[in-house]
Structure 1
Amino acid sequence: MTSSVDGLVSGLSTSSLISSLMQVESAPQTKLKTKVETAQTAVASYLSVNAKVKSVKSAAESLAGLGSWRALTATSSSTGVTATATGGLTGMAGTAKFDVTSVARSQTTVLTADDTTAQGVYPSQITVQPGSWAKDANGYDEFTAVGSPVVIDVPEPRTAASLSTAVNNQSGTLGIRASVVNTSGNQGVIQFTSMKSGAANGFQIAGLENHGSGSSSPTTTAAKDAELTMNPGTASEYKVTSSSNTFSGLMPGVTLTVSKEENDVTVDATNDTKAIAGKMQALVDGVNAALAEIKTQTAYDTDTKKGSPLTGDFTVRQMSSALLSAVSNGLSYTRSGTDANGNETSTTVDFGSLKQLGVTLNKDGTLAFDEGAFTDAYNTNPSKVQEAGIALGNKFKKLTETQSNAITGVMTGRKSEIASLNDQIDNWDVRLAAKKEALQRTYTALETSLGNLKSQSSWLSGQLASLG
């Protein structure tokens, strides 16, 4: 590495001279760096625009989805029956009338204990038999064994607690839990409860007979299913059961939860027009946000004569025109179907102005949505509005997908340009480093030469002086 001799002989600031010369030499690299900054700013702006366009696409996809048009609102005539609209593709408006003739419960078996701390009270083994419960001809609970019984060893000191623990250690297999409850002093009960409700989740315990208070045996409250009697008192009456208190397949797109027995319950499921209108509003809001972002990124200030990062960018500017034209040109679409012979058919439907769906253009170039007008149109002809709404969603989905792909392509090109410019900048770093070293070497040699000349001049002056 060559070092400079800064003005040692000449009195010149050679480092300043070199610095000035290097600024001139590095001017091309500085221009490259400016291009990189400009390109990076443009990429950030493209990303911002693309995010808004993708939001429009997402809203359009939602509007085009059949499930959005089957959104429901469910109401129940009873406080004991909760109706929850789940919607989805299976959702369908309708009414259900029924009696809640049974509420689901888990089996509970109880053994009383004079002293829950007493030792050696219970047998060394008990047997748990899984099974199910049903009503016999006389209306009594009848147990039917299902599967193999499970033998449980009760460890010493065979107290209520050790019995309970032994059962709980196999709760995963048995599907039951045991607990000891003190009711007064050391008196209490051992309670066995099935972990799931429903008639199919029953059990019987053998081995605890005569081991309760006063040589009593366990008492059982049988498990049972929830049961609804549909269309009660009519020729179309039938029963529906559930192991829990929830019925999810009774009404398409609606889940029912019962909490008490009662008669004459009515559940209504109606189309949720407000939720459907919300999908239209989301599309309009998305388009307006995209238009606003495009306007910001392509704006030009005539007062300051300064543009925005994407001012003059044709790819982005034409997006506004395309989005607005999709509204101003109205809606036409192809309806597919089959004829009487099962052959596929297609018909072009000229729906016309989107004002029929409540969508209009404002004078400032933005969209507006009239929820009331949309709701009136939907209530008047729901199938027509649904078909048109889905077609509109598909139209904007296709348009924004094309626009997003175009932006992605432009960004890819810009990123390649940035990579190329950065390579050139790196090459200039090597070139400028070599140039600086050459200048330092030149000025160092100059200072050395001047030093030698100065030394020779001093010697000659001394010799001439000695001759006189």
Structure 2
Amino acid sequence: MGSSVDGLSSGLNTTSMITQMMQVEAAPQTKLKTKVETAQNVITSYQTVNAKLKATKSAADSLGSLGSWRALKTTSSSSSVTATAAGGLAGMTGSVKFDVSSVARSQTTVLKVADTTAEGTFPTSIMVQPGSWSTDGNGVEQFTAVGDPVEVTIPEPRKADSLTSAMNSATDANGVSLGIRAYTVTTSGSEGVVQFAGMKSGSANGFQIAGLENSGTGGTGPESTSAKDAVLTMNPGTAAEYKVTSATNTFSALMPGVTISVSKQETGVTIDAASDSKAISDKVQALVDAANAALSEIKTQTAYDPDTRTGSPLTGDFTVRQMNQAVLSLISGGLSYDKSVTANNTPTTETVNFGSLNQLGISLSRDGQLSFDSTAFAKAYADDPGKIQEAGMAFGSQVRALSDKQSITVTNVITGRKNEIDSLNEQIDNWDVRLSLRKEALQRQYAALETSLGTLKNQSSWLSGQLAGL
């Protein structure tokens, strides 16, 4: 009901009166809306803290991983040979020496043509035979056919472009591309070459073309540069000499966790892989930074300004403040951890009291923040890498467990708050119905009042008229 009854008989602004009365009636709903807004702000603050906790957990998980402690750095004695350390669990330190006896290449076959635009230059079809290349004891290259040859039909007008187009679209009996790309290169005037290039390097990716033996300039045929594998001669000149081949110029299984790439023939190449203490130190620094970010966020979300007497969304929140204390206690209390050992062929567990985290370069400042001394860590790791690795992994695992526990707690609190908001919103919706009915009742009540006043006014006017007539 939305009819206006303003002042029809009473002269009162009944719409304004109803509005003011409804504001009083809606006070409980307004309080509910305020509670929802406050709860939403609290959830946002919890989510911000939780994001920092999860970042801390991730950094701690990385530090506690064995793969992080097997980070490698590599050096090469040759500018034409690069070594890239992948590290990880498979990574191992070590050194290898080798000769680059050959580099990998794909096959290239070239046919010189007197006139690339002449029609009818080539036969109606050619045969492409896939196969592999090898070298005999005298250094002579040999081609060995592998599989069935493929016939390639050359369409009219059978000029150079017809040949290259047919080759590029040709497939074997299974519909698989031949892996050969053909193109024409103009060298002078109408003279040029038709070039066939294998798409993959390695001796196993060779081919021969039959049918073009007399199609070149002066009745010549195609000339080929064979496909080759890259070959490394390991430990050259020693009793431990052996060869390693690759269809590409990359060797990924030569050293654990190291990938080696070659670009030219060379002798006496040495690759060294050593533990990368800087990469490990960066992991510790990342954990310290993540923990500091979490501590700072907790401080911000629980801050209270005595001058303005205003707090933050989580001011006084015991759950969050306890998280702050738990992190600081973990750092200040020193490190102890359990490790598995075997005594008298019996597996058991012993507790290691590592002591102050200063031994890892980690300390606690007066303002409640962590600091990390990378120089102190590097020295400790160089003096006893096994001890520092064991302690560092244990510390990372403990921080990860704490952060995970705290994140789960915050997530549960967020879930509870969301359920609370859902309940409040349901109450707010119920109040919408209740207030709507109340407003309609007030409008009917005041409309009836105005009607009654109007009736009385009419009666008064009639009586006045009758009395005046007397």
**TM-score bracket for the superposition, by shorter chain length:** over 0.9
1:367 is matched with 370
Distance in 1 (CA, whole Å) between partners of 2:465 and 2:112 is 132
1:322 paired residue among 315, 326, 329? 326
Q: How does 1:120-159 map to 2 (within 5 A)?
A: 120-159=120-159
Structure 1: which 5+ runs fail to align? none
Using the TM superposition, give the Cα deviation of residue 338 of structure 1 relative to its aligned residue in structure 2, in angstroms.
4.3
Partner of 1:58: 58
Letter in 2 for 1:164: T
Contact 1:4/1:441 (<8 A) preserved: no
Structure 1 residue 344 and structure 2 residue 373: aligned? Answer: no
CA distance in 2 between partners of 1:334 and 1:91 (Å): 26
**What amino acid maps onto 2:115 in structure 1?**
D
Equivalent residue letter for 2:77: S
The residue that corresponds to 1:118 in the other structure is: 118
One-letter amino acid of the counterpart of residue 425, structure 1:
I
Percentage of identical aligned residues: 66
- Sort the Cα spacing of 1:273 and 1:10 in 2 relative to 1 into closer, same or farther, 3 A: same
Q: Give the equivalent residue in structure 2 for 1:253.
A: 257
Q: Secondary structure at the match of 2:155?
A: coil
Indicate how the Cα distance of structure 1 residues 340 and 249 shifts in structure 2: closer, same or farther if over 3 A, else same.
farther
Which residue in 2 is equivalent to 1:290? 294
In structure 1, the residue corresponding to 2:20 is in which secondary structure? helix
Shift of 1:451: 2.0
Worse-matched range after superposition: 153-162 or 249-258: 153-162
Instruction: Give, in angstroms, the shift of residue 340 of structure 1.
Output: 6.1
Shift of 1:460: 2.7
1:339–1:225 distance in 2 versus 1, CA, 3 Å: farther
Q: Distance in 2 between matches of 1:199 and 1:64?
A: 44
TM-score in terms of structure 1 length: 0.96
Q: How many angstroms apart in 2 are the aligned matches of 1:211 and 1:229?
A: 41
Partners of 1:73 and 1:168 in 2: how far apart? 44
Tell me which amino acid in the other structure corresponds to 1:290: A
Letter of the structure 1 residue corresponding to residue 414 of structure 2: M
Aligned-pair CA distance for 1:339: 5.1
C-alpha root-mean-square deviation of aligned residues, in Å?
1.5
Which residue matches 1:6? 6
Other structure's SS at 2:111 match: strand
d(CA) in 1 for partners of 2:375, 2:32:
56
Deviation at 1:351, TM superposition (A): 1.2
Residue 100 of structure 1 deviates from its aligned partner by 0.8
Report SS of the residue matched to 1:173. Answer: coil
- Residues 230-281 of structure 1 deviation map (CA, whole Å, 9 limit, x = unaligned): 1111221111111111111111111111111111111111111111111111
Over residues 264-303 of structure 1, what are the superposed CA-to-partner deviations in whole Å (9 max), with x where a residue is unaligned? 1111111111111111111101111101111111111111
Report the TM-score when normalising by structure 2: 0.96
Cα offset, 1:177, TM superposition: 1.6
* Distance in 1 between residues matched to 2:208 and 2:88, nearest whole Å: 42
Q: In the alignment, does 2:428 pair up with 1:420? A: no
Please point out which of 456, 462, 465 is paired with 1:462: 465
1:339/1:144 CA distance change after superposition, 3 Å: farther
Please, which moves more after superposition, 256-265 or 4-13? 4-13
Q: Given that residues 3 and 441 in structure 1 are in contact (C-alpha distance below 8 angstroms), is that contact kept between their aligned partners in structure 2?
A: no
Match of 2:441 in 1: 438
CA distance in 2, matches of 1:456, 1:206: 123
Q: Deviations over 1:298-348 (max 9, x none)?
A: 11111111111011111111010011111111111121244564x433222
Q: Residue 210 of structure 2 corresponds to which residue in structure 1?
A: 206
Give the letter aligned to residue 180 of structure 2: I
Q: Measure, in 2, the Cα distance between the counterparts of 1:3 and 1:113.
A: 97
How many residues align? The count is: 466
- 1:359/1:369 contact within 8 Å kept: yes
- Describe the shift of the 1:102–1:459 C-alpha distance in structure 2 as closer, same or farther (beyond 3 A): same
CA shift digits 1:88-110 (9 cap, x unpaired): 21111111111111111111122
Q: Deviations over 1:201-243 (max 9, x none)?
A: 1111112222222222222211111111111112211111111
Q: Is the 8 A contact 2:169 2:177 kept in 1?
A: no
Q: CA deviation at 1:200?
A: 0.8
Counterpart for residue 99 of structure 1: 99
Query: What secondary structure sits across from 1:208 in the alignment?
Result: coil
Partners of 1:144 and 1:20 in 2: CA distance: 99
SS at match of 1:244: coil
- The alpha-carbon deviation at position 382 of structure 1 amounts to 1.2
Q: Is the 8 A contact 1:70 1:87 kept in 2?
A: yes
Contact 1:87/1:253 (CA < 8 Å) preserved in 2? yes
